[in-house]
Amino acid sequence: MWGTQAEAVFDDFGGGVYDQVGDGINVIAGNPRYMAPERLQGIRCRSSVLYSFVVAYYVLRTGTLPFAEVPGRMSDLIAVRLKNRLDLSRLPRAERLVLQKALSTDPDKRHESCMELVQDLQRAIRWRWWQFWG
């Protein structure tokens, strides 16, 4: 578990729907709609949880998942999710740029922490409001 007393943990189960991907021995438990692409391949890293959090953030902001296509069948869903085709068009451009980084297929290109993500979002929102007054 990544959590300590000093940090909050958001796991990649998402939305209260749980699916298992695997052969019964090597099982990945979670919701593929929220899981980072590397989690679908059995790899876990610190930024996998951040990725899941950002998917949930996008759903809260827009009411939809941030992916171009979300098929109904589990096998199709996993295949599409591994491609990680994003559709962030429902958000303002500055906010989209922050989420594109957070939802990168390369975990090393994501934010280092939730604090860094929040700071980037705050800057994006301030920038957006600045445009209204400018």
pLDDT digits (tens, 9 = 90+) for 100-130: 999 998 999 999 998 999 999 998 887 555 5
Q: What backbone torsions phi and psi does residue 111 show, to the nearest 5 degrees?
A: -60, 150
Q: Which helix (H) or strand (E) holds 127?
A: helix 114-133
CATH class of residue range 19-133: mainly alpha
Question: Residue 106 contacts by C-beta under 8 Å, 6 or more apart in sequence?
Answer: none
Instruction: Answer yes or no: is pLDDT of 68 > 90.
Output: no
pLDDT value of position 117? 95
- CA atoms of 14 and 52, how far apart (whole Å): 7
Question: Domain locations in the chain?
Answer: 19-133
Question: Residue 51 contacts by C-beta under 8 Å, 6 or more apart in sequence?
Answer: 12, 35, 36, 102, 103, 107, 110
Structure token pair of residue 19? 């699916």
pLDDT in tens, 21-46: 444 445 556 777 888 888 888 887 88
Which one, of 35, 68, 31, lies nearest residue 52 by Cα?
35
